[in-house]
């Protein structure tokens, strides 16, 4: 027979039961508070968040932000119907990936897509959690990335447009590091240098394309100083060693400390144009020689007459050694005059590679006037106002050609009537007030060559066209119209400029200005050597 519990024992059990119930209620209340805080957090987030049953796909919860996006509360409905407009579970549903074979959560599944109803892009974070009633559910937190996607699409289109522009530029375009590492280039760059692919170009240091490696250092120093360069003429070559004539416009990219970090350049291949230009200049030089030929032939006839005459006198006085010696000396002197004249002609007519260097116009002008004096009519007087011995950066042969062309035009303008040809060379300084904005000429110090004739002059309409190629007022067969066009081209390439003044009946004046080099004047020794 079971003994009945005493009153004290019953009282003790009742207290234990009451305590257990109290603890259960506290735990339940704490759980409810935790769940409330959890749902409160989900409702406070600016992201679409919902919870769905893993088996039935029933929506158990959706936060306030998601209700706002979908304009209604669809709790209790099927997720793939209301959120995707599908007639069956979504093909990309992650439900079967959220639990392992032991029904334990596997972690987070992350995926992106565009919602077919809102047309917005989302990054979705799916995971399995235990819901308030103890069952396993899918929690999805979706972040709206539509703006990011649109920005990426704009960037992709912009990059595509930039790449199309970059590749479509007719100049060889490149981006490189100061060390010569190519970062980007277009197809024209590959074509200019003879690369078979962009990869081939990228693997070739820019230094390998320089004719003179030291010039690369000069280029970098100049770019650091000027920040950007226009009309720069680098000495570069194809990958097979063929020399190129290029014109480069480039700019530097600098960091906050002023250090050069990147070079962006545009290369224009003018190799063929340069060849044609040289041929044109050479042809025009030969035309000028032809113009001078009559005067030169006359001078040669005088020299030959002297040679023949003194040779005959030497023969007559063969038995008188002293007299014969005097006649032979005159023969030698005449031969030397002929040799000097030939030397001047060859200097002017020979075809050579043009090279700019510091030089003085003074000795070249003196030499050219000797040749001109022997070839122009005697009724034309030459006056010299030659004072400047300053240095410029130019090519001697081209300077010689400028002088000969201007002087030839001047004496031809005076014709049979004769006149006065004045040639001057002076140092001048152009102030801001005197500058020529139409020619983009900066104030500074210049050497000025001046050629003045007393011919008929040029009317205003003709004066506007005298530097146009092939424009001439001479009779057919007496000129090609290239002389002044070549002069204009040469002077511009030497960073100089030319001005012309004329009035009908009062002759013409041409002034050529070359900027002084850093070396102000030519050493006397050099000048004497040039004049001998």
Gap between the Cα atoms of 406 and 450, Å rounded: 9
Taking the CB of residue 507, how many other CB atoms lie within 10 A of it? 22
What pLDDT does 128 receive? Answer: 93
Helices 396-414 and 271-316 cross at an angle (nearest 10°) of 70
Mean pLDDT for all residues in the chain? 80
SS3 (DSSP) at 169: coil
Whether the pLDDT of residue 163 is over 70: the answer is no
The whole-number pLDDT of residue 410 equals 87
Say whether pLDDT at 150 is over 50.
yes
pLDDT tens-digit profile of 230-251? 888 888 899 888 888 888 899 9
Tell me the percentage of the chain whose pLDDT exceeds 70. Answer: 80
Model confidence at 526: pLDDT above 50: no
pLDDT in tens, 313-325: 888 888 888 888 8
pLDDT the model gives residue 58: 93
pLDDT tens column, 453-469:
998 888 888 887 777 65
Please give the pLDDT value at position 180: 87
Task: Please give the average per-residue pLDDT across 58-86, as a whole number.
Answer: 88
pLDDT above 80: residue 305: no
What does the pLDDT average to over 404-428?
88
Pull the structure tokens for residue 449: 């060559």
Q: Which tokens sit at 272? A: 């063929």
What is the 3-class SS of 261-321, one letter each residue? EEEEEEEEECHHHHHHHHHHHHHHHHHHHHHHHHHHHHHHHHHHHHHHHHHHHHHHCCCCH
Average pLDDT over residues 217-242: 88
Q: Same topology for domains 31-148 and 165-269, yes or no?
A: yes
CB within 8 Å of 164: residues ≥ 6 apart: none
Its pTM surpasses 0.75: no
Q: Burial level of 483, CB count in 10 A (0-12/13-18/19+)?
A: buried
Q: Please determine, for residue 531, whether its predicted confidence score (pLDDT) is greater than 50.
A: no
210 Cβ neighbours under 8 A, 6+ residues apart:
216, 234, 235, 236, 237
| 271-347 maps to CATH 1.10.3470 | no
- 466: which residues sit within 8 A by CB, 6+ positions away? 458, 484, 500
Q: Identify the band that residue 451 occupies on the pLDDT scale cut at 50, 70 and 90.
A: very high
For residue 474, the cross-strand partners are none
| 31-148 CATH, one of 3.40.50.800, 3.30.450.20, 3.60.130.10, 3.10.20.30 | 3.30.450.20
Helices (H), 470-523: 483-493
**β 419-430/380-386 pair status:** parallel
Question: Could you tell me the residue ranges of all domains in the chain?
Answer: 31-148, 165-269, 271-347, 352-531
In DSSP notation, 69-118 reads HHTS--TTSBHHHHTT--SSS-TT--GGGSB-TTS-B---EEEEEE-TTT
CATH of 165-269, one of 3.30.450.20, 3.40.50.2000, 1.10.260.40, 3.50.50.60: 3.30.450.20
The residue written with tokens 């703006």 in the block is 147
Distance CA 304, CA 133 (A): 129
Specify the CATH number for 352-531; select among 3.40.50.10160, 3.30.9.10, 3.10.620.30, 3.30.565.10: 3.30.565.10
User: Which of 19-28, 411-420, 512-521 has the largest mean confidence?
Assistant: 411-420
- Dihedral sign, CA of 134, 135, 136, 137? negative
Give the pLDDT of residue 281.
66
């Amino acid at each position: 027979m079971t003994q009945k519990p005493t009153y004290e024992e019953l009282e003790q059990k009742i207290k234990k039961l009451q305590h257990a119930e109290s603890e259960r209620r506290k735990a339940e209340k704490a759980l409810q508070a935790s769940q409330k805080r959890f749902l409160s957090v989900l409702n406070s987030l600016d992201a679409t968040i919902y919870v769905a049953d893993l088996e039935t796909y029933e929506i158990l919860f959706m936060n306030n932000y998601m209700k706002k996006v979908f304009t209604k509360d669809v709790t209790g409905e099927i997720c793939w119907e209301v959120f995707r407009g599908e007639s069956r579970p979504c093909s990309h549903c992650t439900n079967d990936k959220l639990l392992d074979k032991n029904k334990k959560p596997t972690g987070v599944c992350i995926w992106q897509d565009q919602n077919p109803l809102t047309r917005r892009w989302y990054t979705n974070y799916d995971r399995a959690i235990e819901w308030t009633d103890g069952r396993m559910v899918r929690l999805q937190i979706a972040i709206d990335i539509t703006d990011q996607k649109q920005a990426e699409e704009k960037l992709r289109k912009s990059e595509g447009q930039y790449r199309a522009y970059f590749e479509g530029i007719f100049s060889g375009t490149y981006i490189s590091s100061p060390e010569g590492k190519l970062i980007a280039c277009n197809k024209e760059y590959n074509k200019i240098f003879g690369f078979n692919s962009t990869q081939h170009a990228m693997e070739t240091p820019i230094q390998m394309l320089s004719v003179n490696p030291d010039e690369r250092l000069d280029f970098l120093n100049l770019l650091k100083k000027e920040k950007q360069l226009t009309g720069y003429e680098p000495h570069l070559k194809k990958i097979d060693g063929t020399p190129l004539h290029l014109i480069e416009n480039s700019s530097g990219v600098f960091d906050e400390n002023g250090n050069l970090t990147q070079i962006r350049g545009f290369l224009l291949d003018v190799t063929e144009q340069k060849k044609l230009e040289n041929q044109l200049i050479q042809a025009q030089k030969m035309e000028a020689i032809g113009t001078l030929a009559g005067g030169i032939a006359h001078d040669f006839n005088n020299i030959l007459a002297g040679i023949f005459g003194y040779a005959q006198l030497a023969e007559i006085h063969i038995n008188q050694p002293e007299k014969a010696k005097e006649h032979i000396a005159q023969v030698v002197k005449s031969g030397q005059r002929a040799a000097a004249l030939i030397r001047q002609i060859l200097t002017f007519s020979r075809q050579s590679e043009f090279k700019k260097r510091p030089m003085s116009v003074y000795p070249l002008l003196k030499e050219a006037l000797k040749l001109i004096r022997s070839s122009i009519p005697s009724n034309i007087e030459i006056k010299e106002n030659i004072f400047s011995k300053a240095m410029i950066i130019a090519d001697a042969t081209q300077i010689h050609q400028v002088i000969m062309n201007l002087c030839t035009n001047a004496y031809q303008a005076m014709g049979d009537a004769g006149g006065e040809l004045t040639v001057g060379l002076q140092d001048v300084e152009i102030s801001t007030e005197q500058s020529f904005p139409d020619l983009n000429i900066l104030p500074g110090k210049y050497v000025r060559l001046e050629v003045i004739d007393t011919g008929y002059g040029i009317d205003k309409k003709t004066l506007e066209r005298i530097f146009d190629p092939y424009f001439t007022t001479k009779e057919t067969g007496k000129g090609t119209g290239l002389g002044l066009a070549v002069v204009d081209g040469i002077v511009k390439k030497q960073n100089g400029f030319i001005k012309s003044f004329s009035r009908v009946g009062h002759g013409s004046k041409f002034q050529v200005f070359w900027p002084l080099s850093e070396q102000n004047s030519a050493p006397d020794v050099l000048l004497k050597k040039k004049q001998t």
